[in-house]
Structure 1
Amino acid sequence: MSRGDRSRLALPEEQPKTTKAEFKDKLALEVSEDRMEARLSGEVPEGADRKQVQYAITEALKKSGVRYGMDAQAMRQAIEALLAGQRVQGLVVARGQAPVRGEDAAITPLVDFGAGVVGRVNKKGIVDFRDRGPIPTVQPGTVLATLKKGLRGEPGRDVLGKLVHPPEVRMLRLLPGDGVRIDDDGATVSAAVEGMPDRPEEERFVVQSVLDIAGDVDLNTGHIEFPGAVRVQGTIRSDFKVKCYGLTAETVEPRAIIDVKADVVVYGGIMGAVVRAGGNVMARFVRDARVVCNGDMNIDTEIIQSKLQAGGHIRVSGLESRIVDSHIAAIKGVQAGDVLCSRREATMIRIGVNPEFEKQYFANKRALESLVNQRDQIMEAVDAQKTELAGTEEELRHMIEAFHSMEGVKDREVHLTQINMIKPLREALKQGVAQGTLRLGEMVFEIQRLREQIARMEAVAPQGAIWLDVRGRAEQGVEIRTPRASLVLENTHQGFSAREATIQDKQTGEERPTVKLSRLRTTAA
């Protein structure tokens, strides 16, 4: 056919091909704020073909980082609508997988714990040390507490492919302690011996055998070192040592040395002794002594020429109670009647965190960050192993089905060799998943405990959160210290509260910490 013949044919006019440049910014993919949905909006130029539309959607997905949860049906719907010349608006083309919520654990105690009632508190908040109450004891086999186990949630994934952790749940477990037995499923703890039940930690229970001393700790008894609770009906005499789990005594004389893991209760006074306690300390009075405890310290009448340090509060609660020429330090605050001082700096009250506390706080923060990073890495690894394991199981299942349908011996031998090569891989993946899951379970407890410890520390760390409350008077020369400031009273002050605050220097405009005095708080009156 000649060129002239071709020119006389009525051929349809060719449509210009749509280029990639014409698709630029025509389609947009919006990821929701929680990254659990991706919505497609826009239109395509006239004349676009299916491959071009598919390519444009793929580019929009890449640009927005969407890589998980694509909805194939929604994609097809979008493509057909766009090819038909319609505009797509907010069509959900990808959905993340929401995390599965877990269930909190709970421990239910079934007996009374501790050293019994040390004293009844009257309407005025005064402890009557004469009302001692009984010390509870249990028999072997007594159920101390039951555990309702927590259920961990399952993480999900957002449309960007990142893990979405479920809300934190309270995970608890019963931990072994002296004198107790935990059943095989870890849901019940019971007494293994006769003795005094105690709960030194939220998850740990103990039953301490009790050593009763009818008289004094003296030459007749010698020094006392006992793993359980010691009840001294009389006095711990001068120069004698007592090391035990928990202690109750009438009085403690000069140069006695007391080292106790839990609580110390002295119905009379601590005089000239050294006392260290892992829990709380209660006494009628303290004179010329050094007392350190991790918990609270409750003194009834007076503290004279002593050094006291508490990880919690120090309270001197009697109506006419007093602190005289003593150094007092309490992380959570101090409450007292009169604070007296015979000479400058003879009496010092320190409230708030100490350097050791701050060091431990930041160490906990670093440890928590490291654990969380490790947990996420292990989660990713376990998730990848689970996916690979599922694929391997499926492949192995098909190979076994094919093996049984084969007739040729040679083919069956080759196939069997392949099956035997895959099986070790499957077992290795199973073991990896099991070990990773076990480690994740342990890390849940570690992370939770660190977070709780940090939260407890943060509850007392903020500036201005810790108070000194003086119900009576504080004399001239008394020094009040906080973590970042100090104040020596130039005059006697009546009924006030003190805390750390920030003031602005009028000349420089800079802020600086100071000890601020105010009217006695109502809750401390």
Structure 2
Amino acid sequence: MPVEMPLDGNAEVLVSEDLLSASLYFKQVDPDSILDYKELEKWLHTNNIVHGINIELLRVIAASPASYCAQPVIIAEGTPAVDGVNGQVEYIYNMDDDFAGPAKLDNGKVDFREVTTLRNVKRGQLIARKISPEPAQAGIKVNGETIPAKDGKEARFKIGKNVVIGPDGMSLYAAIDGILTKTERDKINVFPVYEVNGDVDYKIGNIDFVGTVVIRGNVLSGFRVHASGDIRIIGGVEGAEIDSDGSIEITGGVMGAGKGHIRAGQNVKCSFVQEGNITAGEDVIVSQSILHSHVMAGRNVLCVGNKGLIVGGHIQAGERLTARIIGNSTSTATEISVGVKPEMRSQLNRLRTEVRELVTNLDKTEKALVLLDQLAAAGQLSAERLEMRAKLNITKKQGQEQERALKQELLEIEKSLEDTTTACVEVKQAIFGGTKIVIGRYTRFVKERAERIKFHYADGDVTMSPLL
């Protein structure tokens, strides 16, 4: 018959050193003994075990204490303390990866020229935000004592150059356009200049930057450099694409081999251009020579260095071209155009092409209508052809209206070609036969060598006069 076992003298509580666990150990147990689990719980409280008691296990032990006499059984577990998680600074870019590797294309191939990923940011753009720390969770020992824990620390922005903290104190913004960079001691900066100490090749790849780019090396053929600011290349440029919303300076010159282009919203300055394509919103300044190249400047083209030589190709300037020597003794074909902004001349050529195509289409439409009208007069016009004639009449009317609009636009541009009073070509040393001079809509071919000459528009023609 089961007999209730007294606990005092027969049971013992073993507590871990950190007071996070308590075990019940029976010294001796009669096989027929039983326990009241509530009395067992009360006895544990008497022995200062008040937290984390496993009630279900108490019930099982109370029903058959003899089954648990071989070794101590953990009967209560404390709650460990959990320190809070420190706050963090979250960046809009991964600040650890400077190079992302070749870009993957949609067709599964990779572009080995797209290897550099710049952290471009614009003024006022969010660049980082704080993540708030998480609070600590205090622990409790089996005897009910509290275990203290440390709260997470708030993150701090390490402020560098050209960044500002937002009004909420939790966000960081770029104060200028530039590249987001971490420097010593993890300071956050936005720098307006991106520098490459070497060539732009497969190691660096194409560059697209919102500020100024400085390249201390060459830009190899097939690569692309774009900057919202200026571009300065302390080296040469091969058949590459160089685009700047500001100005471009190339100390080593351009050897384009007819490939790539140099485009600047403002000025392009270099030592020489050979088989290159250059477009500048304002001036193109070349100190040595322009050979077999296509150059367009919204304002001036200046080639007046030690050589100051222009041979071959087509050079266009909105206002003035100045050079020491134009052409050569072998009469290499060289075309110089001034007095019209290059983009306007391009627009003029485009409009002329559109008018020619439109006139051709209108002629075809007119011939088709004549044929349909003849069939209608003979009573042989089917319902299908009647519908076709109606559509062709609408097409003819729309085409005639478009033709009038294009010709009006052409007329306005051609009128602007007449305003060439300030346009001129200045030759400081010599110009050779084979050179074509275009001022506005007027053309003059140079047939023989002349020295120190100025070409300008006067009395309905391109006039040549001595350069003072």
- TM-score normalized with structure 1 length: 0.39
Q: Which has the larger radius of gyration?
A: 2
After TM superposition, the score normalised by the length of structure 2 is: 0.43
Considering fraction of residues, name the structure with more strand: 2
Greater helix share, 1 or 2? 1
